[in-house]
Structure 1
Amino acid sequence: MSSGVPVSCHSPEMIQYSTEDRTGHSRRQAADEYELVWADEFEGTSLNLTNWQYEVNCDGGGNNEYQCYTAREENVAVRNGSLFLTAVPGAYQSKQYTSGRINTANSSSWKYGRFEMRALLPDARLLWPAFWMMPADSVYGGWAASGEIDILEFRGGRDNQHESNLHYGGTYPKNTYTGTGALVYPTNLTLDFHVFSVTWTPTSMQFYIDDVCHWNASLLNSYNNPASQSFPYTDVGQPFDQPFFIILNLAIGGNFFGADGQSLTLAEAKNWSRPSLEVDYIRVYQRNETDHMLSHPITSNSSSCLSVYSGLTCRTTSANESHLNSYNLDDTLGYLCENYPQYCKNILNGQYYSSCNKAVRTSMAMDQYYRDFGPDNNTCYFSGLGQLNGTTVIYVPSTTIADVQQCSDMWNSLKCRTSSEDVETVGLDLINGARGWLCSNRPQFCTNITNGGYYSHCNPAQMISQAIDLYYLQYASTQGADACSFGGLGYVQAITTSTTSQKSTTTSSTVSSTSSSSSSVASTSTSDVIQSTTRSGQIESISVRVQGRVSDFNVTKFVQTLSNAVKIPIQRLRVNDVRSGSVILDMSILPATDQSDTRTTSSISTAIKSTDTQAILASNGYIVMDVSDSPITTTAPNDTSSQNDSNSSPPYNRLGLILGLSVGLVVLAAVLVVAAIIYYEGRRRRMAEANIAMVLSNG
């Protein structure tokens, strides 16, 4: 694998101009039979929606960016033979700036070929234009396990710097990347049009500016990430052996600029000299006999695909991808294919239904999941993406929604949360940045705060705290306190419990990579069970012991499986603590979100212990050893799985062992000294007696 330092490339193929194609433009064709297979020359007066779709969101790209992306003409426009993505200062929803982002996810994706953009880069500090590609299907898992190809990234204000990158290695946070770093171009890149391109083959990716290669990335090595114990790939070149689609965007500020990323002011933005990415064309070339066969146009109007979609019980709310949240669609398909690959065998990698559009293919996987884990509506919810066939809407608004006091009680009970419940104190941009990434890439952690979820009426600081706490509980055993940070948003709470009131109190501790080890997070006193009450009734507690080790345990998947197995809405389950002793989960059961759901802790315990539930949990790899309405002790009798867990012995047991050994050694040493004294004293006396006898005999 490349070290990330650019190496000299082989000379690019000798590109020659041949006869004009049907658009009137000369068609580029390489000596080894490259031909133009897709292009947009932006010759009309509006964006060609057959080729592109708008992305509309204010998520900040997961990079703390300043902008909302819109479909407004001031942000995305086609005129005079060019596409213009323009950054505009001015308040819009939660942001102070707007810009444009488009992609080909609904129209086409490609595996291998040459991908080109001829463009004039913006001349404005802190603008971040990018020409990049993402996987059409998350075959290897969520970002970045299924890959990302950054053909061009440019930092406005540093006008001769550019870079290219590949992201891979595992689902965040086990991902990594390889890239060029900030390369220095000989001249100012904002002064003229340039052609930015990548030539992607089964063995390499070569990145160019004006046909001069600046990086050759080999695809003949493994892209697994052993540093994070992440091994999603079984062959070299993966994940870059699947179709990818094109993205063009113009971001504003953010983490890409380092310390400068949050330094933009409205006064400066209003004086930007040229805040547009102007694109002359996007072109895709492939080889006649090889790559061209790997082009994957999406046949969203296929009657056979629509016929399958219409017959599904659980499916997306629309068969048209453009009507769906693209992030939720990618995440749902990635989650199902990663955790339940049997649901995806007919919809990926050239199989029978792989030519259907992503909405139809995702629906097919969702329907199989629903058939296995239903008929609870929540098993077809998928963060608001799903619906039941016909007129039934998946999410029925709760009859019990957390009120102001319950929101505050929830926030106070969390082990990982924001520094304050006050939104202004925390900062809305920081909250939105974390929520945008988390709910897009890990939607299972946002179920309770989106689309009418139990905590969806809480304020943004309380809601993001609920989500990052679930993330922290999942990843604390491997990441420690870093799993709570989210760029300084989250703080781990030190929990103490009063012996008289049994109410928990918490104090904040700043997150750092050295302040908390995974063992200290994973092993907690049994008194750390959070007890709280709400206006609508007591929050009940339950403790479950599962065979295994904390370091290997997937909390989120277990809770999802448990809610499906015992037919309890996942919104009612909250994990308060995860401890060693096999794996002990201290959980709260929240008030029912439906008046018909009146089950108590004891009835749920009975359901978990039932033969049917045990079979479902066992089929998913979970052997339940004990269930109790009160906290389970750390010691696990007759459980050999915890004997190799470094966190399984309480600290005071280890201390007692050390003290006992020390005392024993001191006593042993004293005995040996006394024995030696007795031995030598006896010997001295015998020798003295012998000498006296000898003298007497000689006298």
Structure 2
Amino acid sequence: MSGPNPFDTPPLSRVPTTGATTPYNSSPRLPSFPSTPSKRAPSTALPAGASYTLVAKPWLVKPNPRARISYYLTWILLFVGAALGGFQSYMTYRNVRLDRAPLCLVFSDDFNDGDDAAVFGTASTPGRWLREVQMDGYGNGEFEMTTGSSNNSFLMNGNLYIVPTLTPGAPFAEGTTYNSTDCTFNITAPNGGFDANGNFDWSGYYTTCSATTNSTAGTIINPVQSARLSTFISAQKGSESDLTLGKIRYGKLEVRAKMPTGDWLWPAIWMLPVNNTYGPWPASGEIDIVESRGNGLTYTARGANYVQGSLNWGPIPTLNSVSKTYSWWTERRKTFSSDFHTYTMEWTDSWIRLSVDTRLHTLLDLRFDERFFARGDYPPTAPDSTGHVISVTNPWINGSNATPFDQDFYLIMNVAVGGTNGWFPDDQGNKPWQNNAGHPMSDFINGKAQWMPTWPDNFEDRGMAVDYVRMWKHCGDP
């Protein structure tokens, strides 16, 4: 029987076997698979007999001049930008004003010894700090009375605390009169409260040292107590040798402090002239090293995450020009009541700088490059505090560009509460009183349910804490 030998090697074939029946693809052990398209790229080989056609590329022969210009211009601008940035950095560094005069420490208090007598004094011996006791609102319509009580100013854990508290018994019954027996009017008032003819200012004394609840007159006894501490006495009787001379004219001042928390609290670290050389406030000037507000982050008129520095000056109170010389620094997500910060004043006869923590965080940087009367651009006449129109004269006509900031100033630290001078603007933050309304202090205390919950129970947060105070003067200055 003839036929193919099953043991012979089958011939090679390029014919696809898919679907063909052979002894090799019909076996159940060798199933057939359909062919699939190849995933490889198609061949770019030219068909037989074909030839390449060259495509013209003129940009390789002659580059585009605009592209060349753009390339070099990019590098030139990068170089010029880097050079200008370096020049700007150098000029900024060179123009930073530094006080190169030698400094001598004249006042220092770190409150670590816990010695109340050395800090606050005794009945017979003044301390480094005077507890100023008044009830008249200090010209700002403030709602607190400042006291000499250890409830409102005291030493604790190496810090000085100034803490506001509610006046015990407030609000008082109609007709009640409150007298501050340790009032300091006769210490802090010009000439001890006596005028040029030797007459004592009894009206000023009673306004400063007492208050009466009288619904007809619209007056009440101050519903809050706080403290105001100053170097007023040590500025006159202190000694440079034992670091108790609480005044400087030019030099440097540092205070490390933590601001208080609570709606309508007004902490301040500031300076007034030892002598009103150029006349009553603001003619002789005021230096506000730092002021703040205890209101929280949501307060719409700069709350506890803002600190401000300023100078107050003007020929008469109604022409105070603080709006021309103030600025502030802000923290976006935290407050100045959450930690301690260092507030610094640097002061020469050419400029003054107020800053917090570093010179980069400037509250105010003012060059004395023109006379303050010219800077104020005052009208020839203006109403005074009583409404009478008076002529505006220059109280600094014989001074320098630094005048009135060319005299000895002493330091004040306090926590005020409320007020009617505009520090707390009307219609901001659910404020419970109006500055020009008839009974702002009464409206404030009547709104206690609204603001009292924002005052922390612990004194560490409700009060201003001060870690240290240091003053340096220019060595050789009197």
Equivalences for 1:595-610 in 2 at 5 Å? none
**Structure-1 residue corresponding to 2:463:** 276
**CA pair 173-31 structure 1, distance change in 2 beyond 3 A:** closer
CA distance, structure 1, for counterparts of residue 329 and residue 356 of structure 2: 12
**CA pair 107-128 structure 1, distance change in 2 beyond 3 A:** same
Contact in 1 for aligned 2:248/2:473 (Cα 8 Å): no
Specify which of 247, 251, 254 is matched with residue 412 of structure 2.
247
CA distance, structure 2, for counterparts of residue 222 and residue 176 of structure 1: 13
Number of residue pairs aligned between Structure 1 and Structure 2:
268
CA distance, structure 2, for counterparts of residue 205 and residue 227 of structure 1: 23
**CA pair 174-12 structure 1, distance change in 2 beyond 3 A:** closer
Secondary structure in 1 matching 2:425: helix
Do residues 256 (structure 1) and 403 (structure 2) align? no
Do residues 114 (structure 1) and 241 (structure 2) align? no
CA distance, structure 1, for counterparts of residue 410 and residue 225 of structure 2: 24
CA distance, structure 2, for counterparts of residue 83 and residue 62 of structure 1: 26
Q: Which amino acid aligns with 2:325?
A: G
Deviations 1:55-99 (A, max 9, x none): 111111222211010011111111221110001123564111010
Contact in 1 for aligned 2:261/2:454 (Cα 8 Å): no
Do residues 180 (structure 1) and 326 (structure 2) align? yes
**Structure-2 residue corresponding to 1:170:** 315
**Structure-2 residue corresponding to 1:232:** 395
**CA pair 198-209 structure 1, distance change in 2 beyond 3 A:** same
CA distance, structure 2, for counterparts of residue 282 and residue 151 of structure 1: 13
**CA pair 272-241 structure 1, distance change in 2 beyond 3 A:** same
CA distance, structure 1, for counterparts of residue 406 and residue 227 of structure 2: 29
Contact in 2 for aligned 1:12/1:211 (Cα 8 Å): no
Contact in 2 for aligned 1:169/1:231 (Cα 8 Å): no
**Structure-1 residue corresponding to 2:146:** 69
CA distance, structure 2, for counterparts of residue 35 and residue 175 of structure 1: 33
Q: Which has the higher contact order (CA 8 A, sep 6+)?
A: 2
Do residues 154 (structure 1) and 292 (structure 2) align? yes
Contact in 2 for aligned 1:89/1:266 (Cα 8 Å): no
Equivalences for 1:588-599 in 2 at 5 Å? none
Measured after TM superposition, the shift of residue 136 of structure 1 is 0.6
Equivalences for 1:332-343 in 2 at 5 Å? none
Secondary structure in 2 matching 1:233: coil
Do residues 266 (structure 1) and 417 (structure 2) align? no
What is the RMSD of the two structures over their aligned residues, measured on CA atoms?
2.2
Q: Which amino acid aligns with 1:119?
A: A
Secondary structure in 2 matching 1:207: strand
Q: Which amino acid aligns with 1:185?
A: E
Contact in 2 for aligned 1:102/1:249 (Cα 8 Å): yes
CA distance, structure 2, for counterparts of residue 62 and residue 184 of structure 1: 28
Secondary structure in 2 matching 1:269: helix
Secondary structure in 1 matching 2:424: helix
Deviations 1:314-367 (A, max 9, x none): xxxxxxxxxxxxxxxxxxxxxxxxxxxxxxxxxxxxxxxxxxxxxxxxxxxxxx
CA distance, structure 2, for counterparts of residue 136 and residue 196 of structure 1: 21
CA distance, structure 2, for counterparts of residue 141 and residue 270 of structure 1: 43
Measured after TM superposition, the shift of residue 203 of structure 1 is 0.4
**CA pair 12-76 structure 1, distance change in 2 beyond 3 A:** farther
CA distance, structure 2, for counterparts of residue 262 and residue 147 of structure 1: 32
**Structure-1 residue corresponding to 2:384:** none
**Structure-1 residue corresponding to 2:37:** none
CA distance, structure 1, for counterparts of residue 152 and residue 356 of structure 2: 26
Measured after TM superposition, the shift of residue 181 of structure 1 is 4.2
**CA pair 232-262 structure 1, distance change in 2 beyond 3 A:** farther
Contact in 2 for aligned 1:174/1:230 (Cα 8 Å): no
CA distance, structure 2, for counterparts of residue 171 and residue 32 of structure 1: 34
**Structure-1 residue corresponding to 2:124:** none
Gaps of 5+ in 1: 1-7, 14-29, 295-699
Q: Which amino acid aligns with 2:326?
A: T
Specify which of 137, 156, 160 is matched with residue 79 of structure 1.
156
CA distance, structure 2, for counterparts of residue 174 and residue 257 of structure 1: 20
Contact in 2 for aligned 1:116/1:195 (Cα 8 Å): yes
**CA pair 271-190 structure 1, distance change in 2 beyond 3 A:** closer
Specify which of 186, 189, 192 is matched with residue 339 of structure 2.
192
Contact in 2 for aligned 1:45/1:79 (Cα 8 Å): no
Measured after TM superposition, the shift of residue 37 of structure 1 is 1.9
Equivalences for 1:648-663 in 2 at 5 Å? none
Contact in 1 for aligned 2:249/2:473 (Cα 8 Å): no
Measured after TM superposition, the shift of residue 239 of structure 1 is 0.4
**Structure-2 residue corresponding to 1:363:** none
Contact in 2 for aligned 1:82/1:281 (Cα 8 Å): yes
Contact in 2 for aligned 1:150/1:164 (Cα 8 Å): yes
Equivalences for 1:129-528 in 2 at 5 Å? 129-157=267-295, 158-177=303-322, 178-186=324-332, 187-212=334-359, 213-214=361-362, 215-224=364-373, 225-228=376-379, 229-234=392-397, 235-254=400-419, 255-259=422-426, 260=428, 262-263=432-433, 264=444, 265-267=447-449, 268-269=451-452, 271-273=454-456, 274-289=461-476, 293-294=477-478
Gaps of 5+ in 2: 1-91, 122-126, 171-177, 179-220, 236-246, 296-302, 380-391, 434-443
Deviations 1:640-689 (A, max 9, x none): xxxxxxxxxxxxxxxxxxxxxxxxxxxxxxxxxxxxxxxxxxxxxxxxxx
**CA pair 11-236 structure 1, distance change in 2 beyond 3 A:** closer
TM-score (norm 2): 0.53
Deviations 1:351-385 (A, max 9, x none): xxxxxxxxxxxxxxxxxxxxxxxxxxxxxxxxxxx
Measured after TM superposition, the shift of residue 117 of structure 1 is 0.7
CA distance, structure 2, for counterparts of residue 62 and residue 54 of structure 1: 18
Do residues 60 (structure 1) and 137 (structure 2) align? yes
**Structure-2 residue corresponding to 1:95:** 222
Measured after TM superposition, the shift of residue 34 of structure 1 is 2.5
Do residues 38 (structure 1) and 104 (structure 2) align? no
**Structure-1 residue corresponding to 2:190:** none
